[in-house]
Chains A and B, each alone.
Chain A
């Protein structure tokens, strides 16, 4: 009886998926915190208890993500872009371009439906263009990240927002609020600016349809909509887009056994 784990330790959120021969047996997500070892253990514990298994039942574990090197019980570590392609292709084989908006990085990759990565690009060393800025602004606006998307959709009058520095964005947002700009208009502006930045990155390696968006950022429908508007075509968002890398890791663990 096969039983595998896919563990994705992101800089913000950690995600895990347990797969058996028949499909998913459990999934779990929690904040990464500072101590990735601890987080990894917690994830494993939770996945085991969800699927009613013990450590000894695990045939293979593949880890991925920012903190993957600290998943001490992993059999193998796989780069996140490879896992993303695997994960997306397993759900949506027509996808050719994946845009993953993570916490520190935005990743764009091209795949072929079999889960191979044909090209990829990562955002640079400035966090201004990745998911973190969403969190920063959410805090300023005193809304939960989960609510930002819906709120942004209610905007009637988008304001121009300069994404620039993820740290100073906070200052800018507060001063906008004190000028009585509405939260939703500010968010719409932020989403637009971020989407434009991400689109530029994507265009550098070329965007081939179908396009999927993944990562924590894809849970933000405001960002997804802004991205659709810029690209003028539909964007596929898998259910639980932030779990895709973990899913891919789990699939690769399965494949590892088959070999």
Chain B
């Protein structure tokens, strides 16, 4: 779907295409912009420190060159692209960078990042891979370490009030995203998948307050639409990791499908869970990032003792979304070399079968060059379910 060149969405498009435009300005004004990757970096702490969290993105249009001279090509291609753009100084306006323990690709390339980029601040946040009382406690300590290191870097204490306030604005942001998703429930949806993902991606390049007002504008605009500008078509759920380039979603929509929901990182995985607003803020954050974010990286033990029960536990949110958004089919989009998602493909396939939702599994390498091949697969899939 091509975008309406008006109001909110034209701003969105600008921020999406010239990604980092606003952050560059803010940096020039003397603000500290802290880059991050993955859903596991607690943005609230960065916001509370007075710095601006900025999600580092890859580009499927830019061939990976310099990055490959420092990093093996057996790293997940999405992550290699982020690294490549960073060493090519696309994000030269960053003051620092935070990398979490999201997956092997992130852990093993941390040295290459931290020595490869000339940034004065670098921090690694370890994330437990199990979710229980002792790991929440450990994670809390790890978050405090992060907090202290940011304090040292910015020269300013991060108080409980700062954290509470940050939690509040970030939660607001998530409420707005939820509201945007509500517009996808009609058939055809009022907002296209392309527009939505572009909006969320644009938002992740802005200070949270600005992101909030951008989302507000988008909400007003979509609400004002009355009739959907879209055609009816199969309703598609996209399942996978980080999909920060819109081309895949665009392709699905161009071929007549409507992307109505997802589990991707810059979609529901990142934006749906909220932090508890009262109580100790660090505990609330530990709880949100470890327990509430549903990522294959976090091991969830099989409490049911049966395979069926286990996949219901692990992938239940997919079923919820599939029903809530009334989907006709799903695309499981996984990058080559991605261990956390890669190992779940067989179980996820079975889960989709149990939901009776047809599934297309795609393994891809994060390059615009593969869109031609994907086109045939996606078109055939839409023909199959249509």
Residues in A lying within 8 Å of B, measured CB to CB: 162, 164, 196, 199-200, 203-204
Of B36-44, B63-71, B191-199, B317-325, the segment with at least 4 beta carbons within 8 Å of chain A is: B63-71
In Å, the complex CA distance between A138 and B175 comes to 59
B77 to chain A, nearest CB (A): 15
| A196 / chain B contacts, CB cutoff of 8 Å | 63, 65
Asked if residues B369 and A199 are in contact (CB atoms below 8 Å), the reply is no
Asked if residues B65 and A200 are in contact (CB atoms below 8 Å), the reply is yes
Asked if residues A164 and B69 are in contact (CB atoms below 8 Å), the reply is no
Which residue of chain B is the closest to A206 with respect to CB atoms? Answer: B69
In Å, the complex CA distance between A164 and B365 comes to 13
B324 to chain A, nearest CB (A): 41
In Å, the complex CA distance between A43 and B271 comes to 70
Asked if residues B369 and A164 are in contact (CB atoms below 8 Å), the reply is yes
Question: 7 closest A-B pairs (Cβ-Cβ)?
Answer: A203-B69, A204-B69, A200-B68, A200-B65, A162-B369, A200-B69, A196-B65
| B69 / chain A contacts, CB cutoff of 8 Å | 200, 203-204
- Report which residue of B63, B66, B69 has the largest number of chain A beta carbons within 10 angstroms of its beta carbon: B69
6 pairs of residues in contact across A and B, judged by CB atoms under 8 Å: A162-B369, A199-B65, A200-B65, A203-B66, A203-B69, A204-B69
| A200 / chain B contacts, CB cutoff of 8 Å | 65-66, 68-69
| B65 / chain A contacts, CB cutoff of 8 Å | 196, 199-200
| B68 / chain A contacts, CB cutoff of 8 Å | 200, 204
B231 to chain A, nearest CB (A): 30
Contacts A200-B65, A204-B69 aside, 11 further interface pairs with beta carbons under 8 A come to A162-B369, A164-B369, A196-B63, A196-B65, A199-B65, A200-B66, A200-B68, A200-B69, A203-B66, A203-B69, A204-B68
| A164 / chain B contacts, CB cutoff of 8 Å | 369
In Å, the complex CA distance between A199 and B63 comes to 13
| A203 / chain B contacts, CB cutoff of 8 Å | 66, 69
| B369 / chain A contacts, CB cutoff of 8 Å | 162, 164
Residues in B lying within 8 Å of A, measured CB to CB: 63, 65-66, 68-69, 369
In Å, the complex CA distance between A151 and B231 comes to 49
| B63 / chain A contacts, CB cutoff of 8 Å | 196
In Å, the complex CA distance between A199 and B67 comes to 12
In Å, the complex CA distance between A199 and B65 comes to 8
Which residue of chain B is the closest to A199 with respect to CB atoms? Answer: B65
B264 to chain A, nearest CB (A): 27
In Å, the complex CA distance between A200 and B66 comes to 7
Which residue of chain A is the closest to B63 with respect to CB atoms? Answer: A196
A166 to chain B, nearest CB (A): 15
In Å, the complex CA distance between A203 and B70 comes to 8
B355 to chain A, nearest CB (A): 37
Which residue of chain B is the closest to A124 with respect to CB atoms? Answer: B73
| B66 / chain A contacts, CB cutoff of 8 Å | 200, 203
A109 to chain B, nearest CB (A): 16
A243 to chain B, nearest CB (A): 30
In Å, the complex CA distance between A199 and B69 comes to 9
B69 to chain A, nearest CB (A): 4
- Report which residue of A196, A200, A204 has the largest number of chain B beta carbons within 10 angstroms of its beta carbon: A200
In Å, the complex CA distance between A204 and B69 comes to 4
In Å, the complex CA distance between A200 and B65 comes to 6
Which residue of chain B is the closest to A193 with respect to CB atoms? Answer: B63
In Å, the complex CA distance between A216 and B238 comes to 48
In Å, the complex CA distance between A10 and B71 comes to 31
In Å, the complex CA distance between A204 and B66 comes to 9
A230 to chain B, nearest CB (A): 9
B307 to chain A, nearest CB (A): 39
B130 to chain A, nearest CB (A): 37
B313 to chain A, nearest CB (A): 42
In Å, the complex CA distance between A162 and B66 comes to 18
| A199 / chain B contacts, CB cutoff of 8 Å | 65
A226 to chain B, nearest CB (A): 14
In Å, the complex CA distance between A204 and B369 comes to 24
In Å, the complex CA distance between A203 and B369 comes to 24
Which residue of chain A is the closest to B66 with respect to CB atoms? Answer: A203
A121 to chain B, nearest CB (A): 11
Which residue of chain A is the closest to B68 with respect to CB atoms? Answer: A200
In Å, the complex CA distance between A162 and B63 comes to 10
In Å, the complex CA distance between A36 and B102 comes to 53
A96 to chain B, nearest CB (A): 17
B173 to chain A, nearest CB (A): 38
B193 to chain A, nearest CB (A): 27
In Å, the complex CA distance between A211 and B227 comes to 63
A123 to chain B, nearest CB (A): 12
A173 to chain B, nearest CB (A): 16
A159 to chain B, nearest CB (A): 14
In Å, the complex CA distance between A203 and B69 comes to 6
In Å, the complex CA distance between A204 and B63 comes to 16
